[in-house]
Every structure is written in C-alpha cells, then in structure tokens.
Structure 1
Amino acid sequence: MESSNNGSWSKYDKLAGLLAVGLFAGYFVQPIEAIIVAVVSPLLSPLAVWLPFSLFIVALAGTTGLYTAILQTKLRDNERMERLQAKMKTLQERVQTARNEGDEGELNELRSEQQELMQSQLKMMKESVRPMVWSLLITAPAFIWLRWVFTSPAAAVTPVAFFFPVIGQIAWTATVVGPLQVWLVWYIGASISSGYVSRKIAQQAL
C-alpha cells in the first residue's frame, strides 16, 4: 500500500481494486455472499454472541471507521490537494482579471497553467480512490455479513428485538422509512458518530 506520487496505481492497488469489485458483487450475487459469510462468521459470530448486539454493531462500525480513517490519512495527501485547490482558485481570479482587462496574451499563458493544474487534479482524484478501494476489503465483508445476519433465518446470532429508550422494544428488522430497517439505521448512525472520532484518532496517531 505504498503511496504513489505520480497518480499511478501499484500492482497491489490494482489487485485490491479487483478484489474490492468481487466483494462488492457479494451485495447482489448470493454465491459470493455465501463465501464471504463463511469466511467472516468465525471472526464475528463469537463477538456478536458475547456482546450486547446493539453494542456489537457500534463496535463493528467504529472499527471499520477507524480502519478507513487510517487508510485515508496514510494514502491521501490532503495537504497537496489543498495546495492544488488554492492554486486553482488563484488562477481563476487571475483569468477573470485578464478577461476584464482584455489581455489576450496573459489569458493564453493562464490557460496553459490551467491545463497543467487540471492534469494534476485528475491525478489526485485517481489517488483519492485508493483509500476507498483498500477500505472496502474490510468494510464490505463486515456489512455483507451483518446484512446476512438479519436476512437469514439460519444465522440465529442476533436477538429479534432490542430495547430503545423512549420507544421501548423494537424489532431489528422493523421498517423505519422506505427500505431502511432499524438495524441499518443503527449501523449508519454508529458509523457517522464514530467517523469523526476515528479521523481524529488516526490523525493524532499518524
């Protein structure tokens, strides 16, 4: 997972990308889902039984969030991206000034600079996909396993319902709105709330 300075992907990045595509297919292809579940279950099922399930989901979301935050910190050059954005903003202001003054010579030079900056931005955008690809290697199997737990009668890992303050007992598979069920809303909420903390931890640790 070494950092790439020229925007190109290493062979490991490409391999991770292919694997990520295969894992993502597990959302839609049942045989792939079955393979993922068979690999992940020995790791997650004991924890799901040992911890209160609502806490287990929070821990799972927090762990995957921290892993993603660490990858973003290591593989994404945020400072370089900010410098490019600042240069692009300054360049746009210079272009506007040259247009107002009718300076065609200056405009031609600035257009050349714009093209170079746009090429650099495209490379940075390509690099920014790398953390997402590597994070999918963990987040996709975890989420697919969690979905399987709630949709497969054979799972028998989680309780049917849990106690929620004010509301009381509520089924994990109860519909909140549209296709969103309670377990998915709980997982998304845990991911969002832990995401900020995870990024802070990753930035301080690295």
Structure 2
Amino acid sequence: MSRIERKVRSLVTADAEMKAAIETVLDSATDNEVQWVDVRDEITSGQWGRLIEKGILVDGDSGFQIESPDAVRAGLTEESATDEIESSSWTKWDKGAAGLTVGLFAGYAWAPARNVVAGAIDVVLGPLTNIVPFYVVVMIIALATGLYSTLLRVALMDTEKMGEYKARMDEIKQKREDAKERGDEEALEEIQQEQMEAMGDQLGMFKEQFRPMVWIMFLTIPAFLWMYWALGFRGGVEHYAFQNIVIPFAGEVSWTTGIVGPMQIWIVWYFLCSMAFNQIIQKGLNISMTPSSN
C-alpha cells in the first residue's frame, strides 16, 4: 500500500465524510489540478485544509495538484478501507462451552457444585484408583488432557490466520524501526495511525487463541475438581486415602504437602506430566502450535 493510499484510508477511517470530500476533489480536477473556488460550495474549508495537511493536495501550476490520483482512488475503495484479516467467528457451541466453563469455576469455591461434578467424574476415574497408584492416575489425566488439548488447538485455531496477524504486526514494527533510523517524523506519524488501526488484529489474534482454550478448560476443569474432591483439598473431605509419594530432598510426603509456595505436590506433578506429554504428542504427531509470519 502506497503512502498516499494509506493517508486517504486514514482520513476516511477517522471521518467518514472525508470520502465524499475527496471524491468531490477528484471529480472537480482538471488536468489533475483543482482550486478552492471549484469545490468550496461542496466541501468545508476544514476538509480542504486536511487534504493539504496530509499531502494529498500539493502545490501545482495554477492551483493544487492531486498527489497520485490512482493511489487516492485506491484508498477510497471498500477493499482498502476495510483491509482487515477476517477473524474466525464463534459458533453457538463455542459460546455455550464458554458459559458452562464459567459455571464450572464455581466448583473451586463452592463444595456442592464440586461434589456434583467430581461425583460424575468419579464413575470413570474412581475404578482406576483400585488398579494403579495415584501418581499413575494423574499421569493418565495429564496424557488425556495433553492429547485433546493438542487436537483441539489443531481443529479450532487457524495457525495460518495467526501467521497473518503476526506478519502484519512484524511489518509495522519493522517500518517503525526503519522510520526511526531515517528520522522520518511524517512516516512515524503515519505508522502510529496504522498501529491504531491494527488494534483489531490483536483482538482477532486473542479470539483465535482463546477459542480452543474454552473447550480445553471445559474438559479439564472437571478432572481438576475430581482431584480436589478426592484429596480433600483446602480442608474438604478426603474421599480417598492415597499412598504417600517419595520425592527428592523431602522424602516421603503426602500429596497435599506444599512444595512450590502454596502449590501442592499433586498440582506440580500434574503440570510436569502435562508439559512432558504435550511435547511428546506434538513431536509424535508433527504438530506445530507456533504461527509463522512467513
């Protein structure tokens, strides 16, 4: 996009009435020149001044010359004025999962909700505690959450679109650095405006990232509530008496012993297993979660 096209788009974005003013100037020009007297009945002096200030109108032989008429017209086109990356829309199922996820968070603080959710999950996980030690149960949970988390990100997050967002932001950043090196204050002002317009890109990128996260939390929170419920976390009723675990430097300790600040051993063990399994799954399936700006 040329400098003039970007300026025209900036003007139209800031003030929709500028589009009609610029079209009037284009239509009134003769040999690519126009005088104030030709347009003063149709546009305001403020609009005329803005066109001169932005360099869209420059000194001509007998009046003002339109700087790059083709670029000005391109800046007025709908495609240019709405030059945004189309973000993925959330379905009713996505929104429903988000609402239920918010409700599941209540289980962390409200025992009745936790008992209902954990009791339902215990139908699946309870029998495992009679077969394998608790640390293996946590590993199985971490493996399951790692697998569906990876698959949900692949299915719901458009990494190509994420790459487009990243590429645009990297381009703006590079142009800003180049303008600073040149000491080009006018270009810096234009880039500042472009950055403001690109705020929508950051929102779109957040939506792309958060959509699979909603489903991941929707499926993971119940498993966490079951572990809370089973261990009697935060003074709750302990529903299972799991065998203690032996860890380096501390020896034999219970699963609810604090190890990293307020974080108890079972939480740390889950996150360690989850990170390890995530890496193995992504490597094994040859999946990259990092958007490319190429």
**Counterpart position of 1:36:** 117
Distance in 1 of aligned mates of 2:278 and 2:135: 17
**Counterpart position of 2:276:** 193
Q: Choose the corresponding residue for 2:239, options 155, 176, 194.
A: 155
Distance in 1 of aligned mates of 2:145 and 2:278: 9
Report if the CA contact (8 A) 1:8-1:127 is conserved.
no
Report if the CA contact (8 A) 2:150-2:278 is conserved.
yes
Report if the CA contact (8 A) 1:70-1:199 is conserved.
no
Amino acid at match of 1:15: G
1:59 aligned counterpart, secondary structure: helix
Distance in 2 of aligned mates of 1:96 and 1:129: 30
TM-score, normalised by the number of residues in structure 2: 0.60
Query: Structure 1 residue 73: deviation in Å?
Result: 1.6
Distance in 2 of aligned mates of 1:98 and 1:166: 55
Amino acid at match of 1:58: M
Find out whether 1:114 has 2:198 as its counterpart.
no
Q: Choose the corresponding residue for 2:159, options 72, 78, 81.
A: 78
Find out whether 1:130 has 2:211 as its counterpart.
yes
Q: State the superposition RMSD in angstroms.
A: 2.6
Query: Structure 1 residue 125: deviation in Å?
Result: 0.8
Distance in 2 of aligned mates of 1:75 and 1:121: 18
**Counterpart position of 1:174:** 257
1:195 aligned counterpart, secondary structure: helix
Between Structure 1 and Structure 2, which shows a larger proportion of helix residues?
Answer: 1
**Counterpart position of 2:184:** 102
**Counterpart position of 2:222:** 141
Higher-Rg member (1/2): 2
1:30-71: CA deviations, max 9, x gaps? 111011012111011011221222111111111111111111
Distance in 2 of aligned mates of 1:44 and 1:102: 64
Q: Choose the corresponding residue for 2:133, options 38, 43, 52.
A: 52
Query: Structure 1 residue 166: deviation in Å?
Result: 7.8
TM-score, normalised by the number of residues in structure 1: 0.83
2:138 aligned counterpart, secondary structure: helix
Query: Structure 1 residue 103: deviation in Å?
Result: 5.6
Distance in 1 of aligned mates of 2:90 and 2:204: 10
Q: Percent identity?
A: 35
Distance in 2 of aligned mates of 1:170 and 1:130: 39
Report if the CA contact (8 A) 1:84-1:121 is conserved.
yes
Find out whether 1:9 has 2:9 as its counterpart.
no
Find out whether 1:92 has 2:173 as its counterpart.
yes
Q: Which has the higher contact order (CA 8 A, sep 6+)?
A: 1
Distance in 2 of aligned mates of 1:81 and 1:37: 36
Note the residue ranges of structure 2 that are not aligned, 5 or more in a row: 1-85, 288-294
The alpha-carbon distance between structure 1 residues 76 and 8, as it changes in their structure 2 partners (threshold 3 A), is same
Distance in 2 of aligned mates of 1:189 and 1:159: 20
Distance in 1 of aligned mates of 2:247 and 2:177: 56
Report if the CA contact (8 A) 1:175-1:182 is conserved.
yes
2:198 aligned counterpart, secondary structure: helix
